[in-house]
Structure 1
Amino acid sequence: MKWKEFGTDIAEGNELRPLKSPSSIFIDNDDDKTIYIVDSENDRIIKWKLNEHYDETLAGGNGKGKQMNQLIYPKDVIIDRENDSFIISDYGNKR
C-alpha cells in the first residue's frame, strides 16, 4: 500500500471553538466524503466535508446539559444512511 504524501489538516476545529479531546471519527464514503468528529469536551458532534474550509455542528454545541439539544461527553457517532439518521453515544447523559 502506498500512502499519499500530503493530506488535509482538519483537527483544529474552527477558530472560535477548536477541538478539545476528540474521541472518535466516522468517515462517510457514501456521499461527498464527509467526516463526523466527536468533540467530547466541547460536547458536540461536528460534520466536515472534503474540500470545505469550515465545519458544521451536527449535534450538541449548546453547553453541557440534559436537554435534547445538549450532550455531555459524547463518545461515538454512527451515521445510518439507510434510515437517514445518526446514533450518538452520549456518555454523560447515559443515552
Structure 2
Amino acid sequence: DNHRVMKWMEGAKQGIVVAGGQGEGNDLTQLSYPGGVVVDQLGTVYVADGGNDRIMRWPKGATQGSVIVGGNGK
C-alpha cells in the first residue's frame, strides 16, 4: 500500500524511492497500484500505474513523472 517504486543497491540498508512515494493518487508525484516496471539504459523508469490506467515515465533523478500513455479514465 505504499504506491511507490524503490531501488535497492547491493549491501544497502535502505532503499531509494525512484517513482511515487507521495501516497496513493493521480498527481505526477503519485502512483496508484503500480504494476510492471521497466528501466532503460539511461536509468529512466517506466511504470504501469494500474489504478490510474496510465504508463508513467520517471527520468533518473526526477522528482515527478510524466504520463506517456493513458490517464484519461478507463
Q: Which bin holds the TM-score, normalised by the shorter protein? A: 0.5 to 0.7
The residue that corresponds to 2:10 in the other structure is 3
TM superposition outliers: structure 1 runs of 4+ over 6 Å: none
* TM-score with structure 2 setting the length: 0.66
* TM-score with structure 1 setting the length: 0.53
RMSD: 2.5
Query: Is residue 60 of structure 2 the alignment partner of residue 50 of structure 1?
Result: yes
The amino acid that maps onto 1:63 is G
What is the CA distance between 1:15 and its match in structure 2?
8.2
Aligned length: 61
- Structure of larger gyration radius: 1
The amino acid that maps onto 2:56 is I
Give me the identity figure in percent: 30
> Which residues of structure 2 form unaligned runs of 5+?
1-8
Q: Which has the higher contact order (CA 8 A, sep 6+)?
A: 2
- Check the 8 A contact 1:44/1:59 in 2, yes or no: yes
> Which residues of structure 1 form unaligned runs of 5+?
65-95
